[in-house]
A and B are shown apart, each in its own frame.
Chain A
């Protein structure tokens, strides 16, 4: 039985220290700190350089996204989802859109599903490149940061090509995609996908057998399967500990059950395993992206959004001569579509883990409640367990290896 530690609130460390009741030192790390991956405040209880306890203090990036969404129509609310996990906006879009589609039972054209898979997998690669770059940067391997961001530029350029925005794309809509694909999408996507693979090998060359890297990551922050499940970890963090839970396999969505890919697993649950799992995940994502690309090519041109005019707006060209289209457009923009009353929960495999959306509808054009199960929010609970008894420098490596994004932690 692994011991599961209580996850302290910051006041539980600060209170006794202020009252002069502790022998240990309480140190503040953040929220302004180059290595905390965002506005994360860590209250550290230290015995010299050894960490006795860590309490994350979050909420600095809380912008009330869930409450704001209750005031917007379903289509307007989509734009807010980009801003949560800002390194993987398409995954957030997808999670929300799938929840609304599940509630409304909207059928999505196959072309749109394939593009969703293609873009979300490239989003995963782009997010992991940021993770790799910042993780390496925190451990002083600075070149990897620049190389990773160079590769990421290509992916961002592709997103800009399809949606007009590099990051906050909001490219998915309830029923499909926001805009049809541009003509040069297929060749550009192919060039992008093919060029990244060899670069991943370059990063592995720099890090995987590097004695400095191994010193800083092997055996650091070991989390066994039982602890990882108890703390509710997900994504690469959970799989590095040997638990094979990938939402794309467990509850497939957007046709993932028809793609051939492996789910990399680690064994010891240390920082090195988390690194290896994410590197392997990047390669698997490229594999899936290639399959999706081929399918998209074979499908040929066609609609990318549902033909149900009660959900998706008609093309502008129809509005000039069809009264019905004009009325549909008018209703969708002034009132918005109204899902049936009910509640659903949908989760997707975002680069950070299991991202879930719990959506409650009261039959009106605005959601009654939207809650996002943010993987980074839950993953932070494991930080104290992993850092206990280790040095402060290891804490930096551990925060990086958990890969939190504060936009998602705080919403």
Chain B
């Protein structure tokens, strides 16, 4: 199914949904509002003519200085034909929330946790949204453009007690 047919199908099945679609370097990208994300995602997965059953990638991008500041990018594959589509959803700085896709593609679980951990994008409906790469007591979201490329303070014997007092295992 070529791009115009795909977009027509979406327009037919989801008439109220406003989309922006473009092709860049041969890839189709569809920008959708976060209110319409779940409906579009379900259609892409369940419609027998589309069948995007494989979520290959989900990540966040911080476009500091642009409205909306955050963007979640989802790369989907329809497995037998290996057709690819890219979904983009924006989230504003003051309300960085996007619906979670875990209920539709369970593999989104870890991807969304990473985007939350590193960028602070909250995924509504995620079963266990928590930090995954950074230590649990980390404050801030490292991949944001206004977060420094810092480091974690190294624990030597003279400062070990002070540092470990704040760690989660101090209570165990």
Cβ A229 vs Cβ B79 within 8 A: yes
Cβ–Cβ < 8 Å partners of A344 in chain B: 24-25, 27
Any B CB within 8 A of the CB of A345: yes
Cβ–Cβ < 8 Å partners of A290 in chain B: none
User: Which range contains the number of A residues in contact with the other chain?
Assistant: 35 or more
Q: A251-B84, A378-B110 are in contact. Are A103 and B25 (CB under 8 A)?
A: yes
Cβ B57 vs Cβ A230 within 8 A: no
Cβ B130 vs Cβ A345 within 8 A: no
Please tell me which one of the listed residues A8, A59, A231 contacts residue B107 in the complex, with CB atoms under 8 A apart.
A231
Cβ–Cβ < 8 Å partners of B75 in chain A: 345, 356, 358, 373
A346-363 interface mask toward B, CB cutoff 8 Å, 1 = contact, 0 = none? 010000001010101000
A356 to B54, CA, bound (A): 14
Any B CB within 8 A of the CB of A342: yes
Interface residues of A in 166-222 (CB under 8 A from B): none
Cβ A381 vs Cβ B107 within 8 A: yes
Cβ A232 vs Cβ B107 within 8 A: yes
Please tell me which one of the listed residues B57, B127, B134 contacts residue A373 in the complex, with CB atoms under 8 A apart.
B57
Cβ–Cβ < 8 Å partners of A229 in chain B: 53-54, 79
Interface residues of B in 93-112 (CB under 8 A from A): 105-111
Cβ B142 vs Cβ A232 within 8 A: no
A343 to B53, CA, bound (A): 23
Cβ–Cβ < 8 Å partners of A234 in chain B: 56
Q: Which residue of B lies closest to A382 (CB)?
A: B107
Any B CB within 8 A of the CB of A300: no
Any A CB within 8 A of the CB of B77: yes
Any B CB within 8 A of the CB of A68: yes
Any B CB within 8 A of the CB of A380: yes
Cβ B110 vs Cβ A380 within 8 A: yes
Cβ B61 vs Cβ A360 within 8 A: yes
Cβ B25 vs Cβ A102 within 8 A: yes
Cβ–Cβ < 8 Å partners of B59 in chain A: 358, 371, 373
Cβ–Cβ < 8 Å partners of B132 in chain A: 9, 58-59
| Least distance between B48 CB and chain A CB atoms (Å) | 16
Q: A229-B53, A232-B105 are in contact. Are A342 and B24 (CB under 8 A)?
A: yes
Interface residues of B in 126-143 (CB under 8 A from A): 127-128, 130-136, 142-143
Q: A105-B25, A345-B57, A356-B56 are in contact. Are A243 and B79 (CB under 8 A)?
A: yes
Please tell me which one of the listed residues A59, A345, A354, A380 contacts residue B133 in the complex, with CB atoms under 8 A apart.
A59
A74 to B127, CA, bound (A): 37
Cβ A232 vs Cβ B56 within 8 A: yes
B58-87 interface mask toward A, CB cutoff 8 Å, 1 = contact, 0 = none? 010111000000000101010100101010
Cβ–Cβ < 8 Å partners of A103 in chain B: 25
Any A CB within 8 A of the CB of B89: no
Cβ A58 vs Cβ B133 within 8 A: yes
Cβ–Cβ < 8 Å partners of B1 in chain A: none
Interface residues of A in 1-60 (CB under 8 A from B): 4, 6-9, 11-12, 14, 18, 58-59
Cβ A250 vs Cβ B107 within 8 A: no
A90 to B143, CA, bound (A): 26
Any B CB within 8 A of the CB of A71: yes
Cβ A232 vs Cβ B54 within 8 A: yes
| Least distance between A370 CB and chain B CB atoms (Å) | 10
A347 to B86, CA, bound (A): 13
Cβ B57 vs Cβ A64 within 8 A: no
Cβ–Cβ < 8 Å partners of A331 in chain B: none
A380 to B114, CA, bound (A): 14
Cβ B24 vs Cβ A381 within 8 A: no
Cβ A67 vs Cβ B143 within 8 A: yes
Cβ A381 vs Cβ B109 within 8 A: yes
| Least distance between B106 CB and chain A CB atoms (Å) | 5
Q: A7-B109, A345-B27 are in contact. Are A12 and B149 (CB under 8 A)?
A: no
| Least distance between B74 CB and chain A CB atoms (Å) | 10
| Least distance between B27 CB and chain A CB atoms (Å) | 7
A89 to B43, CA, bound (A): 38
Cβ–Cβ < 8 Å partners of A243 in chain B: 79
Please tell me which one of the listed residues A11, A59, A230 contacts residue B134 in the complex, with CB atoms under 8 A apart.
A59
A275 to B25, CA, bound (A): 37
Any B CB within 8 A of the CB of A66: yes
A7 to B63, CA, bound (A): 30
Any B CB within 8 A of the CB of A410: yes
Q: List 29 A-B contacts (CB under 8 A).
A: A4-B106, A6-B128, A7-B106, A7-B110, A9-B132, A11-B136, A18-B172, A59-B131, A62-B134, A64-B142, A66-B118, A66-B143, A67-B143, A103-B25, A230-B106, A232-B55, A232-B107, A250-B82, A343-B24, A343-B73, A344-B27, A345-B57, A345-B86, A354-B56, A358-B57, A358-B75, A360-B61, A369-B62, A371-B61
14 new A-B contacts, CB < 8 A, other than A232-B56, A371-B57, are A6-B109, A9-B113, A11-B130, A59-B131, A59-B133, A66-B143, A232-B55, A232-B108, A234-B56, A345-B27, A358-B73, A368-B63, A378-B110, A381-B107
The interface of chain B, by Cβ under 8 A from chain A, is: 24-25, 27, 53-57, 59, 61-63, 73, 75, 77, 79, 82, 84, 86, 105-111, 113-114, 118, 127-128, 130-136, 142-143, 149, 172
The 10 closest A-B pairs by CB, nearest first: A232-B107, A250-B82, A59-B133, A373-B57, A371-B59, A9-B128, A62-B133, A230-B106, A9-B130, A369-B61
